[in-house]
Amino acid sequence: MKDLLDETRALASAPAPQRPAAPPAAAALAARQAAGGAAPDTAAFLANFVKIGEIAAPKTPAKPLFSPEEEPEVVADLIAEMRPMFQRDGGDIELVGITGNAVQVRLSGSCAGCMMSARTLSTVQHQLIETLGRPVRVVPEIRH
């Protein structure tokens, strides 16, 4: 036991090993240039990074495809076009109203209690976004 205590004390009193300091930036640059490598071009890297971000970002139309007065009619027409698909499955969809970016609809028949209603509303939302050219949210009417 005494040997273990002596070793622990020796380790605790020993100085920590020193790491070599990193060379200054100028020295690293000189070493890289001497080895034939060019210094990285930070401005070009940042420009490329921004360019990649612009490519990945979704494009929004410069101006809305429809005026605010036309949008309710366009939404109603699109929902009317989709109604036969709902009715074929024993359900129905109706436009209740539009408030800002929210399009409120009423599902009835077999669509009202269907487990796939969220997926169906997502499809309606996707069609509306493509048609209007702006983000909208389809919200089902909830009756209490």
d(C-alpha 94, C-alpha 87), whole Å = 11
**Residue 142 in this model has a pLDDT that exceeds 90:** no
Asked if 98 and 104 count as a contact pair (C-beta separation under 8 A), the reply is: yes
- Token pair recorded at residue 64: 């809305």
**What's the rounded Cα separation, in Å, for the pair 19 and 123?**
60
Residue 52: what pLDDT?
60
Q: Which residues pair with 94 in a beta bridge?
A: 106
Angle 132-105-83 (CA atoms, 0-180°, nearest 5)? 80
What is the residue-averaged pLDDT of the chain?
78
Tokens of 5: 């205590």
Q: What does the pLDDT read at residue 98? A: 93
pLDDT higher than threshold 90 for residue 79: yes
Q: What is the pLDDT of residues 94-131, one digit of tens each?
A: 999 999 899 999 999 988 888 888 999 999 999 999 88
pLDDT at 133: 86
pLDDT-derived band of residue 8, with 50, 70 and 90 as boundaries?
low
pLDDT the model gives residue 111: 87
> Which pLDDT value is given to residue 73?
94
| Residue position matching structure tokens 């269907």 | 114
Instruction: Say what the pTM is.
Output: 0.55
CA distance 92 to 27: 74
3-class SS at 63? coil
pLDDT 10s digits, 11-70: 666 666 666 666 566 666 676 676 666 555 666 666 666 666 555 555 555 566 788 889
